[in-house]
Chains A and B, each alone.
Chain A
Amino acid sequence: MTSPAAPGAPLLELDGVSRVYGEQVKVYALRDVSLRINAGDHMAIIGPSGSGKSTMLGLLGVLDKPTDGTVFVAGQDTGVLDDDARSRLRGDTIGFVFQQFHLIPHLTAFGNVDTALLYRGLTKAQRRERAMAALEEVGLGARADHRPVQMSGGEQQRVAIARAIVTGPLLVLADEPTGALDTRNAEMVMEIFAGLEIADRAVVLVTHDPRIAATTNRVVSMRDGEIVADVVQDPQPFGEGG
C-alpha cells in the first residue's frame, strides 16, 4: 500500500518523453511529451486511433520504457529501476482497468480482487477484509463467489475496478473502460469512477469517447504522438456532456 499523496502533489510526471519504434525506420509513437498528473486529477486522455494514447498508457503504467525522457512515479525516476523494482512500483502505486476486463477466468470475483493483494505480506484475513470492502464499494459484495463467466460485462468491469482500487493506488489507470459495455453498464461503471475518492490520488481514463471525457475535470487531447491540448473543466454526469 502507498501513503496518500498531498492534494495537488505531483503523482506522475512525464518529462520530455518520446517513444520510438523501429531501428532503421523510426516511428514516433510519442514525441517529446511532458505531462504532470497531480493528486485530485480526474483526467481523460483522448485522441483518435494512432494518436499515441496506448503508448502513453503503457508509459504511465510503467509497463513500457521511454526511448527518451524520464517518467517519475511518486517522485521516483523509473528509468533507473530494474525490472523487478518497476514491477513492485507498478503493483504499489498503479491500479489498472482494461477494456477487455482481463479477469482471470478460473478465479471468482473475490479471487480476482484478492490477486492484487498477493505478495504483500498480508494475512488471509486481512486480504479477505480488503477484497470484500473493494467489492462492496463497486456494489458486488453479494457476487464475490461468482466466476467471470457467471457475470455480465458490466459486473466484470466492476470487479476489475475493485481489483484496481483494492491496493489503494496513487493512480487508477483505465483503458477504454466502457469500450466493451452497453450504455446502461457504461453508465454504471462511469458512476463508480466518478464516485472514487480522488483527493489524494488520480484517475486517468484513456478513451476516444467524448461522453467519458466530459465526466472528468481535466482533458488531455493527443494527436500524432503529441499533446495538443490540456484543459481543466467542470465534470458532467455521463451522457450529459461531450
Chain B
Amino acid sequence: MSRFRDLLSIAVGGIRARKVRTLLIMLGPVVGVAAMVGAVGLTESAKGDLKARLAELGTNLITAEAGASFGQQNPTLPKSAVSRVKAIESVERASAVAEVKGVVTLPSTAGASYYQTFPVPVLASDDKLPEVLEVPIRSGRWLAKSDGANKTRAVVLGGGLADEYGVLPGEIRTVQLNGIDYGVVGVLDRVPLEPSLDNAAFVTQWAAKHDFATDGAPTKMYVRARPGSTEATSKAIPTAVSLGGSGSVTTKIPSDALEASARADKTLQQTALFAGLLALAVGGLGIANVMSISVIQRSSEIGIRRALGSTRALIALQFLLEALFVGLLGGLVGAVVGVGIVYLVSAIAGWVVVIDYAKMPIWIGLAVGVAAVAGLYPSVKAARLEPLETLRLG
C-alpha cells in the first residue's frame, strides 16, 4: 500500500511539475468527453420539453373506438363497454363519450351565421372523464350525476372552444345547442393527449337523450391502465368489449406518437458521439506522442530512479499513472465543459435540460481507457531505458 502511495505521489508530482504540458495533453480527453456529453445532452435536451410533458401526462392512457362492424356509418361501442373494460384487472379507471350528431352550437345569438359554419363536436359524457384524462378543470366544474338527475341543461366547454367563445373564468354564460340554452358550468383544460376534445362541448347523458334523441351508446372510450401494463391492457380491451362477438374494437395509445417525437434524433446523436470518440482517439495519440518525447527528456530522471533502486515495473507504472491522471482529469474537465455547453445552449434555445448523469462514468472511463492505452507505449519505453545509457558516466 505504501509502495502504491509512493508511486502515486511521484506520478502526481510529475504532472504538477509540467503544468503547461499536462494542460496541452489534457485537451484531447477534454474535447472528446465534452463533445460526447454535449452531443447526448443537446440531442436529448432538444426534445426535453416533450419528455417533460410526457412524464406529466403519463403513458398509460388508452383510447378505444368501435370498428366498422359494430355499425355501418356511425359505429358505436356497447353501452356496457365501460363496465366490461373495468373488469380487466390492469385497468385503473375508464370513461366514455358518445358523440351527438347534428347539433349546431352557438355561443350567443350574435354572430350565429359565423358560428353555424364552425363545427363543434357535442359529446355526452359521464362524470369521470377529467379524472381518466387526468386533465384539470380550468374554471367552474365538470358535469355531475346530479345534473342528469335534476335534468339540468349544463354544458362544459373544451379549453379551445372556451377560448374561441371568449369565455372568461367565472363568467355566467349560456350557449345554444340546436337553439336550446345550456348553462356553461365549467371549462375543461386543454387535453394534450387528445386535442380533439379541446373544441368539444360536453353534455350529460340525459341531455343527449332528451334534447337530441340519441341512444347514448359510447363512440369512444378512455382507459387508464396500471403503469407498466399499458400494452397488455390495450390488447385485452377489444376482447373484453366484444366478449367474443363479431364487433371489432380498435385501441390506441395516444402517448406513443408523442413518445416517438420525443425520442432524440439517434442519427445526429451517433454522429456527434462518433466525432467525440474521434477527438478522444486523436487526444490519445497526442498523449502517446507527448509522453514519448517526455520519456526522452526525462531519461536522466528515469536513470537516477533506476540507480536508486526503482524496478522497470515501477518506472512503467509511474508513467502509466501519469497518463491515467491526464485521462481522468481530462475526462472530468470534459464532463464539466460538456454539461456547461448543454446548459448554455439550452438556455439560449429555451430547451429543457436533459442530462443523463448516470452515463458520466462511462464517458470519463472512456477518456481514462484511451489515456491508458496511449500511455502504454511511453511507459514501456521508459521501463526499457538502461540507467547506464542515461546517466553518462565517466
Hey, which bits of chain A sit against chain B, CB under 8 A? Answer: 49, 53-54, 57-58, 61, 63-64, 83-84, 87-88, 90-92, 96, 98-100, 102-107, 111, 115-116, 118-119, 121-123, 163, 175-176, 206
Contact = CB atoms under 8 A, between A and B. Distances in A.
B309 A63 contact: no
B300 interface: yes
Contacts of B304: 96, 98, 102-104, 115
Contacts of A102: 300, 303-304, 391
A46 to B, nearest CB: 12
Contacts of A104: 301, 304
29 contacts: A54-B393, A58-B393, A63-B387, A63-B388, A83-B312, A84-B313, A87-B312, A90-B308, A91-B309, A91-B310, A92-B309, A96-B307, A96-B308, A99-B394, A102-B300, A102-B304, A103-B304, A106-B13, A106-B14, A106-B17, A106-B18, A115-B304, A119-B7, A119-B314, A121-B2, A121-B3, A163-B308, A206-B393, A206-B394
A83 B311 contact: yes
B306 interface: yes
A122 B2 contact: yes
B394 A53 contact: yes
Given A83-B312, A84-B312, A63 B13 contact: no
Contact of B311 (A49, A53, A84, A116): A84
B79 interface: no
Contact of A176 (B2, B7, B394): B394
Interface residues of B, number: 31
A123 B16 CA distance: 22
A91 B393 contact: no
A121 B4 CA distance: 10
Among B10, B13, B18, B394, find the residue whose CB has the most chain A CB atoms closer than 10 A. B394
A163 B304 CA distance: 11
Interface in B1-21: 2-3, 6-7, 10, 13-14, 16-18
Contacts, number: 83
B305 interface: yes
Given A54-B394, A119-B6, A87 B303 contact: no
Contacts of A54: 393-394
Interface string B243-280: 00000000000000000000000000000000000000
A58 B393 CA distance: 8
A118 B305 CA distance: 10
Nearest to B312: A83
B308 A115 contact: yes
Chain A binding surface, main DSSP class: loop
Nearest to B305: A115
Nearest to A107: B13
A17 to B, nearest CB: 16
Contacts of A107: 13, 17
Contacts of A98: 304, 391, 393
A123 B2 CA distance: 8
Interface string B377-389: 0000000001110
A48 to B, nearest CB: 11
Contact of A88 (B6, B14, B311): B311
Nearest to B14: A106
B6 A118 contact: yes
A21 B336 CA distance: 56
Contacts of B7: 119
A175 B394 contact: yes
> Which 6 A-B pairs rank lowest in CB-CB distance, beginning with the nearest?
A91-B309, A54-B394, A106-B17, A118-B6, A54-B393, A84-B311
Nearest to B390: A102
Interface in B308-323: 308-314
Given A115-B305, A119-B6, 7 more contacts: A57-B394, A58-B388, A84-B313, A102-B391, A103-B304, A107-B13, A115-B308
B280 to A, nearest CB: 28
A121 B2 CA distance: 6
A87 B306 contact: yes
A60 to B, nearest CB: 11
Contacts of A100: 300, 392
A92 to B, nearest CB: 7
Contacts of A119: 3, 6-7, 309-310, 314
Interface string B106-147: 000000000000000000000000000000000000000000
Contacts of A103: 304
Nearest to B17: A106
A64 B388 contact: yes
Nearest to B309: A91
Nearest to A100: B392
Given A58-B393, A175-B394, A63 B308 contact: no
Nearest to B392: A100
A206 B394 CA distance: 8
Nearest to B387: A63
Contacts of A87: 306, 309-312
Contacts of A175: 393-394
